Chains A and B, each alone.
Chain A
Amino acid sequence: MIELTARKALREFDLDVELRFAPGVTVLAGPSGAGKTTLLRIVAGLTPPDAGEVRLDGRALHRDGASVPAFRREVAYVFQDYALFPHLDVLDNAAYGLAARGVGRAARRATARAWLERLGIAPLADARPRELSGGERQRVALARALAWTPRAVLLDEPFAALDAETRAGVREELRTTLASLGVPVVLVTHDEADVRLFAAPVVRLERGRVVR
């Protein structure tokens, strides 16, 4: 469970929200520039709120201006352009979170490979990110985010970098994968088609406020 109370001054308005994200997928929808990405970054510890409190499973991640740094939060983040490490192959990208936790080389590669298999990209293990298509990149980003069993998963516009055809195929697959995790998953999108087809609780954000 993510519990979030946050205020943050943005360029044209204030982000001001009070939200809870239960285990399972929540779609965070709203027009571009509504503050959705900022909200995700506050939860991940990449942007500090001006005021507020962030809790994950009861543990305070941000309170009274003191912050747990991003690398100690155990919150996975899938970036809009995926930000795959260009100098590492697909397998090492997927194993990165396990390496950060001191998991030995053989064990972390085995776990990462299992995730690549589950997402249908095992044959790409030795490829570099620049050799991949958009859809393949998204799967690597997902494997990298999930392989170390995070306590929450945040996805910023995971379909934005994909063409319409790829999008349709990936949507259903992503829905199944994310639904099975058992942790809070927040998926940001500005695309109403995603909102309709994802069949998950929806929170709408407009000009920094939650609207019903």
Chain B
Amino acid sequence: MLRAAVATASALFVLFIAVPLIALYAHLTPARFAATIATPAALDALRISLLTTAASLALTLLLGTPLAYALARGRFAGRAAVDALVDLPIVVPPAVAGLALLFVFGKMGLFGPALGALHVRIAFTTFAVVLAQTFVGAPFYVRAARAGFAAVDVTYEEASATLGMGPLRTFARITVPLALPALAGGAVLAWARALGEFGATIMFAGNLQGVTQTLPLAVYLGLESGDLDLAASLAVVLVTVALVVAFGARALERRAA
């Protein structure tokens, strides 16, 4: 009785996840997919998504790696608060994140007048997409990297120091290689989250083809404008990437263990 209930619940859940995804693929024939993916709107969205997610990944690694190390090793005032703050974007609704970014970088925002005086516009530019993606994606990297660094025995770093290696070179030669599976896993998660970013982007960067229109935004536009083939084709691209990430991450985990 109980076993049957468990089996039914499990089957329902698996179907609930799998059927919609299969339906996406089923909407298209290969020929229609090929024709749609070659349209300017689709190519622009692919290009913007690749460009902005690469930039936000770079920004995430550059700023997130030192922070993750400080959180893992450092003893400083307010560490617990910083720790909690870093996780916050994971639970803040993306639309709220977009609005918050607008209140900082928008024309009426905190830095609006200063940016205006310098003739710098951030909101509704490609860079705004990068900022929105970094805001929502980076915490996934920082979390994983912090755990990865914390798991590296300090004695290895001390041994490296007594052998004459300075802190930066010790970090590059010892700490990073030993934490690499965690760093790579976190980077992939952050990148995938950035690729799927919708709410913060549309609030803070808008939906302008060739400038701020990423794949998820183009999917939305396709649905709105009745171009279901465009929506489905780009959705298939996103789901395929997600499948590769999900199964790739498991393969990596197995190899690390």
Footprint of B on A, CB under 8 Å? Answer: 44-46, 69-77, 79, 81, 83, 85-87, 96-97, 99-101, 144-145, 148
Residues A97 and B163 in contact in the complex (CB < 8 Å), given A85-B174, A86-B178, A87-B177:
yes
Contact A144 B163 (CB under 8 A): yes
A83 and B159 CA atoms in complex are apart in Å by: 7
Who on chain A is nearest to B170 by CB? A71
**CB within 8 Å of A: which B130-176 residues:** 153, 155-156, 158-167, 169-170, 174
Chain B residues with CB under 8 Å of A46's CB are 158, 161-162
Q: Is the CB of B155 within 8 A of A71?
A: no
Q: List 6 A-B contacts (CB under 8 A).
A: A71-B160, A71-B161, A77-B158, A79-B159, A83-B156, A144-B163
Contact present for B164 and A87 (CB under 8 Å): no
Q: Nearest 5 pairs between A and B by C-beta?
A: A100-B164, A70-B161, A97-B163, A77-B162, A83-B159
Q: How far is the CB of A93 from chain B (nearest CB, A)?
A: 10
- Closest approach, in angstroms, between the C-beta of B51 and any C-beta of chain A? 34
A-binding residues in B (CB < 8 A): 153, 155-156, 158-167, 169-170, 174, 177-178
Give complex CA distance A47, B230 in Å.
63
Kindly state the separation between the CA atoms of A148 and B160 in the bound complex, as whole angstroms: 13
Give B183 Cβ to nearest chain A Cβ, in Å. 13
Contact B165–A75 (Cβ < 8 Å) = no
Residue in contact with B164 in the complex, picked from A81, A83, A148, CB distance below 8 Å? A148
* Residues of A close to B155: CB separation below 8 A: 79, 81, 83
Partner of A74, one of B156, B164, B170, B174: B164
Main SS class of interface, B: helix
Within the complex, which residue of A70, A73, A83 is in contact with B153, where a contact is CB–CB below 8 Å? A83
Q: Given the complex of chains A and B, what is the CA–CA distance between A87 and B160 in angstroms? A: 13
Question: A87 vs B155: C-alpha distance in the bound complex, in angstroms?
Answer: 14
Whether B159 contacts A101 by the Cβ 8 Å rule is: no
Q: How far is the CA of A142 from the CA of B166 in the complex (A)?
A: 21
The reply to whether B158 and A71 contact each other, CB–CB distance below 8 Å, is no
B164 and A71 form a contact (CB under 8 A): yes
Q: Is the CB of A85 within 8 A of B156?
A: yes
Most buried by A among B155, B160, B162: B162
A101-B161 CB under 8 A given contacts A83-B155, A85-B156, A87-B178 = no
The one of A76, A85, A86, A87 in contact with B162, judged by C-beta atoms closer than 8 angstroms, is A76
A151 CB → nearest B CB, Å: 11
Residues of A within 8 A of B158 (CB): 46, 70, 77, 79, 83
Name A77's closest neighbour in chain B (CB-CB): B162
Q: Of the candidates A73, A81, A100, A145, which one forms a contact with B165 in the assembled complex, judged by CB atoms under 8 Å apart?
A: A100
- Besides A73-B162, A75-B162, A144-B163, 9 more A-B contacts (Cβ < 8 Å) are A70-B158, A70-B162, A71-B160, A71-B162, A81-B155, A87-B178, A100-B164, A100-B165, A148-B163
Q: Are A96 and B162 in contact (CB under 8 A)?
A: no
Instruction: Give the residues in chain B near A148, CB-CB below 8 Å.
Output: 163-164
Alpha-carbon gap, A70 to B164, bound state (A): 7
- Greatest chain A CB density within 10 A among B158, B159, B161, B169 is at B159
**Chain B residues with CB below 8 A from A79, complex form:** 155, 158-159
Shortest Cβ distance from residue A48 to the other chain B in the assembled complex, whole angstroms = 13
B175 to chain A, nearest CB (A): 11
Which B residue sits closest to A87, measured CB to CB? B177
- A76 to chain B minimum Cβ distance, whole angstroms, is 6
Residues of B within 8 A of A74 (CB): 164
| Chain B contacts for A73, CB-based, 8 A | 162
The answer on a CB contact under 8 Å between B166 and A71 is: yes
Complex CA–CA separation, A46 to B162 (angstroms): 8
Docked pose: A77 CA to B164 CA in angstroms = 11
Are B161 and A96 in contact, CB atoms less than 8 angstroms apart? no
Contacts A75-B162, A76-B163, A83-B153; A100 near B177 (Cβ below 8 A):
no
